[in-house]
Structure 1
Amino acid sequence: MAHVTRRDRGRVGLPWLLGTLVLVGALVAAVAFGWTTGRLNPLVCGGACGPEAVATPAGLTLDTVPERTAPDPVVTRRPDPDAVRAAVGGLLDDPDLGGRVGVSVLALDGTSLLDRDASATFVPASTTKLLTAYATLSRLDPTARFSTSTVLDGEQVVLVGGGDPYLASTRPSRPTRVDRADLRTLARRTADALRAAGRTTVRIGYDAGLFTGPAVNPTWESSYVADQVVTPVSALWADQGERDGVRSTTPAQDATARFAGYLRDAGIRVRGDATRADPGSSAQPLAVVRSATVAQVVDAMLVRSDNEAAEVLLRHVGIAAGGAGSVADGTRAVVATLRENDVPVPGLRLRDGSGLSRANRIAPATLAGVLRAASARAATAPLLADLPVGGFTGTLANRFGTDSAGRGLVRAKTGTLTGVHSLAGYVTDRDGTPLVFAVMTDDTEDVNPFVTQAAVDDVAAALAGCSCGG
């Protein structure tokens, strides 16, 4: 089986975004200079710093999306294609990159600075999540939240799944921004509502019908579920279907059984086993818990490279585009979103939202193009800030070491499967010039994966170390 690395809306003027990116780059560079040895990690994080260590400045939470009516003036140097080619050209012939390498480097205005088989398609692995994230932020309100609720249908309490990818069993002792909704809280609220209605004995049912189609993608490796790589996708689950480190094959039923236990703890007698239910229009609302915002969920999905969250978001994209909550509707909606926003899609073939499928084919031009397109609108621009930081956060925490020019300056999404290595994001060069890039290779099964990974990172680091402004 293939090796998989786990947890692997108004327009806004481009000048404002350029100013933002240049400022972010300068700030990150300053942090990297003072923290490059990692000696402050024990003081700041109590050990190695994880993805939640980068705090959001006050006033810049993602509960609301800022609207800009007057772009800030900014002066930036125009990137020089010759300088870009000189910086990375020789690195692309490294045999450690295997026999197939594709690269696209763009200026934020869309100017192509480097194109090496940029329109050829590659197995993208988890860089597929960039397309899912972009479509999610384009199709859904970034401030919206997913609801998990209970209704009373006759004598039956029905637990209704709303597709919250981070619904938990209980609230964790050290919650992150996406740890907002949990079954224990919902059970307590439901028990209160039942007692207020004069009921202390109920039956239990569950409704996970928001999503349709196969819960296990038919283009995934057949062993993915059995080998605990991924949970069957459901609109209702708790802890992404995991319990004691084991993934459930029936996550909706298991979540409902756990909910029933919490309901009993809250003083309600539950009769019989949980059954699938389809509550009618006369069902009475009882209680609800709501997720983190869509924007926050996208952030966590990218930083953690969360396969389950990506697959849930893909189905929400399908629903938002007028289809059903299926993989097919979701992938069609993602492709349509890219086309509607003039993202190049040569040879694009999309079979899932996470990149677990080896049937996916994406071109470097598409990955770089979607990042450039994300920079043009307030609703999608947070995608760039959501990317892991080289040497510091998420899937890049252990890449771009202290001697790398890319440390703290590269922000990118990784993609890794056996023989497949991708990296797509943006970097600010030595002049503070932002560059969007995508590097893809999918013919490296005979090369040590860490060696290929380092060769891919060298390309991004070379851009960071380049004085590429004209």
Structure 2
Amino acid sequence: MSRARRARGAGWAWPALVWIVATALVGATVLLQVVVRPQLASDPLVGGGRLDAPASAQAPGAVLPGLSAPSASVDAAALARTLEALPRDGLGDLAGLVVDAETGTELYRVGSGARTPASSMKVLSGVVALDVLGADTRFETRTYLTADGQVILRGGGDPLLASAHQDAYPHAASLEDLAASTAEALRARGVTSVELGYDASLFGGPAWNPLWPETFATSVAPITALTVDHARPDANSWARSTDPARLAADAFASRLAAQGIAVTEVEAEATPAEAQQVAAVTSPPVGVLVEHTLSESDNDAAETLLWQVALARGKTPNPDVSAATLITELTRLGLWSDGMVAHDGNGISADNQVTPDALVGAVRLAVQRPALRHLLTGLPVAGVSGTLDERFDAADSLAGRGLVRAKTGTIRGVNTLTGYVVTADGQPLVFAFMTSGGAGQTSARAWLDRASSALASCGC
């Protein structure tokens, strides 16, 4: 084809293409106006007969209307038959309680007296921390400058303090951010080299609870007011430092050096009264700390929060003082009874003894009091989050996945589960099951998952 013919062909092609596109647009407009719009206008999901008036649609109903008005109440006898029929092969000793979350009416009980709670103890220390400290309270890690030019790093008892900046939830405070602010203030003063002191005196000692077995040295660190990264020298290791405050000070010195402030010496030092505050970073609020503690079963955080409670009550925290404070506060809340024993707030001590009534009572308090609701929102979700993320996968416990919210508890020979669930009929229940002995952890966990799932699927 000649160049002239190709040019003439191209000249006709463009007008034709424009005509085709215009015709298509006109056709689409007619289709929308004549066919689609009348159909949508009469569609009840659109509402009001007009595409530009979505506000005329009716408001949706309650997502879970059964929560406020159960379709049926749980029959205690039927519930007992359901739970008693569950196989208990290899379970060992069992104590448990199920109550109506709103009224407290007892619906099921098995066993009597106090048992070892393991990490379900965190439910008790968590409710006390929320009640005494308040959900919005935060803890500060600060730096000070002394008259002779020394920088003091002072711990405020922040259990989640990290060495590196944290963008992810729960947005823990970091020594990296504190070092950046401190270095900026020092440079403004013309300071480029300092001696570093560190002060963990907010808490007393000893820091290690003598009733914690040494085998738990990888599960909890000595409790101090200045701890970073859960006292792990290496983020990829379970090892814990025996001197968390010094570890934190060394980490801070490295962060200062990275900001151009040379650190010539690091030593423990009390903060002089006349020292001027230079910078500070703040922890997440107590409500978030409690949620984290319960979800992840954080032993360090649970114990640190209990020591903060003792401090708030005007006492110098140590293992004995903090345990005694826990007993006093649980008594005040009506959760303490004869036969119970408390030696810590994280449940590591096998000598702790609490009743299912106390655990159920703590959860019920959180149901009743909005100020304590972080206790509920922090409980792991069956098969979904926290320490329950890999459980409830057996055929007889699938009904509880996503519905059961409960705190686990595991030490040698002990398995517990404490929490709440809404039945198939919409009735909220609170429960605590405590097992010990038996064939082992597998059998105990299987029964705990099975029993709490039976509550979720109960149409009793």
2:400 aligns with: 406
Once the two structures are TM-superposed, the CA of residue 411 in structure 1 deviates from its matched residue by 0.5
Q: 1:238 aligns with which of 200, 209, 228?
A: 228
Tell me the residue number matched to 1:296. Answer: 288
Q: Distance in 2 between matches of 1:460 and 1:299?
A: 21
* Identical residues among aligned pairs (%): 39
Deviations 1:139-169 (A, max 9, x none): 0121121110000122210000011111111
Higher helix share: 2
SS at match of 2:142: strand
Aligned residues: 391
Report the CA distance shift for 1:190/1:220 in structure 2 as closer, same or farther (over 3 A).
Answer: same
Instruction: Select the residue among 263, 266, 271 that pairs with 1:270.
Output: 263
Q: Does 1:307 align with 2:299?
A: yes
What residue number does 1:376 align with?
368
Give the aligned partner of residue 243 of structure 2: 250
2: CA distance between counterparts of 1:146 and 1:80? 47
Which residue of structure 2 aligns with residue 138 of structure 1?
131
- Higher mean C-alpha deviation, range 162-171 or range 244-253: 244-253
Q: Which stretches of structure 1, 4 residues or more, deviate above 3 A after TM superposition?
A: 22-27, 76-79
Q: Give the equivalent residue in structure 1 for 2:59.
A: none
The equivalent residue for 2:4 is none
Correspondence 1:86-125 to 2 at 5 A: 86-91=81-86, 94-98=88-92, 100-108=93-101, 109-118=103-112, 120-125=113-118
Amino acid at match of 1:79: V
Tell me the amino acid that sits aligned with residue 230 of structure 1: V
- Aligned counterparts, 1:159-170, within 5 A: 159-170=153-164
Q: Contact between 2:227 and 2:248, CA under 8 Å: does it hold in 1?
A: yes
- Structure 2 match to 1:147: 140
Partner SS, residue 84 of structure 2: helix
Counterpart amino acid of residue 123 in structure 2: L
Q: Any idea what SS the aligned residue of 2:264 has?
A: strand
For 1:248, the aligned partner's letter is S
Cα distance in 2 for residues equivalent to 1:105 and 1:425:
10
- 1:81 matched residue in structure 2: 76
Unaligned runs of 5+ in 1: 1-21, 28-73
Q: Does 1:203 align with 2:203?
A: no
SS at match of 1:257: helix
Instruction: State how 1:304-383 maps to structure 2 within 5 Å.
Output: 304-383=296-375
SS of corresponding position for 1:414 = strand
| Cα deviations by residue, 1:113-138 (Å, 9 ceiling, x for unpaired) | 112224x1111111011011100100
Offset of 1:83 from its aligned partner? 2.4
Contact 1:346 1:366 in 2 (8 A): no
Give 3-state SS (helix, strand or coil) of 1:84's partner. Answer: helix
1:223-261 deviation digits (Å, cap 9, x = unpaired): 432xx2321111111101112213211111011011112
The alignment partner of 2:317 has SS state of: coil
CA distance in 1 between counterparts of 2:88 and 2:298 reads 30
Q: Is the 8 A contact 1:25 1:409 kept in 2?
A: no
Identify the residue that residue 411 of structure 2 maps to in structure 1.
417
How far is the alpha carbon of 1:277 from its aligned partner?
A: 1.1
> How do 1:157-236 and structure 2 match up within 5 A?
157-172=151-166, 175-225=167-217, 228-236=218-226
Residues of 1 paired with 2:371 and 2:425: CA distance? Answer: 28
Matching residue's letter, 1:82: A
2: CA distance, partners of 1:25 / 1:377: 21
Q: After TM superposition, give the deviation of residue 26 of structure 1 in Å.
A: 7.3
Amino acid at match of 1:229: S
> Does the aligned pair in 2 maintain the 1:168–1:179 contact within 8 Å?
no
Rg (Cα) greater in structure: 2
In structure 1, give the amino acid aligned to 2:181: R
1:344 CA displacement: 4.7
Task: Report the CA distance between 1:327 and its aligned residue.
Answer: 2.4
Counterpart in the other structure of 1:128: 121
Q: CA deviation at 1:332?
A: 2.3
Q: Distance in 1 between matches of 2:325 and 2:367?
A: 20
Give the equivalent residue in structure 2 for 1:53: none
Deviations 1:295-348 (A, max 9, x none): 111111111011111111110111122222222232222222222222253421
Q: In structure 2, how many angstroms separate the alpha carbons of the residues matched to 1:374 and 1:326?
A: 27
1:90-110 CA distances to partner (integer Å, 9 max, x unpaired)?
A: 33x713211x21011111221
| Greater Cα offset, 346-355 or 283-292 | 346-355
Match of 1:9 in 2: none
Aligned to 2:35: none
Instruction: Return the alpha-carbon distance in structure 2 between the equivalents of residues 276 and 435 of structure 1.
Output: 51
Q: Is the 8 A contact 1:127 1:423 kept in 2?
A: yes
Of 426, 435, 439, the residue aligned with 1:432 is 426
Aligned partners of 1:204, 1:171: CA distance in 2, in Å?
21
Secondary structure of the 1:288 match is strand
Q: Judging changes above 3 Å, is the alpha-carbon distance between structure 1 residues 23 and 432 closer, same or farther for their aligned structure 2 residues?
A: farther
SS at match of 1:247: coil
Measure, in 2, the Cα distance between the counterparts of 1:291 and 1:388. 22
Q: Which amino acid aligns with 1:168?
A: A
Amino acid at match of 2:116: V
Deviations 1:397-422 (A, max 9, x none): 11112742111111100001121110
Contact 1:343 1:373 in 2 (8 A): no
1: distance between equivalents of 2:328 and 2:121? 15
**SS, match of residue 372 in structure 2:** coil
Question: After superposition, what is the alpha-carbon deviation per residue over 1:250-277, rounded to whole angstroms, capped at 9, x for unaligned?
Answer: 11101101111211221222222x1111
| SS of alignment partner, residue 97 of structure 1 | coil
CA-atom RMSD in angstroms: 1.9
Structure possessing the higher relative contact order (Cα contacts under 8 Å, 6 or more residues apart): 1
Q: Which residue of 2 aligns with 1:287?
A: 279
Superposed CA deviations along residues 365-417 of structure 1, whole A, max 9, x for unmatched, are 11111111221111112211211111111111111127421111111000011
Counterpart amino acid of residue 135 in structure 2? P
Find the aligned partners of 1:161 and 1:394 in 2 and give their Cα distance. Answer: 28
Q: Distance in 2 between matches of 1:25 and 1:369?
A: 25
CA deviation after TM superposition for structure 1 residue 211, in Å: 1.2
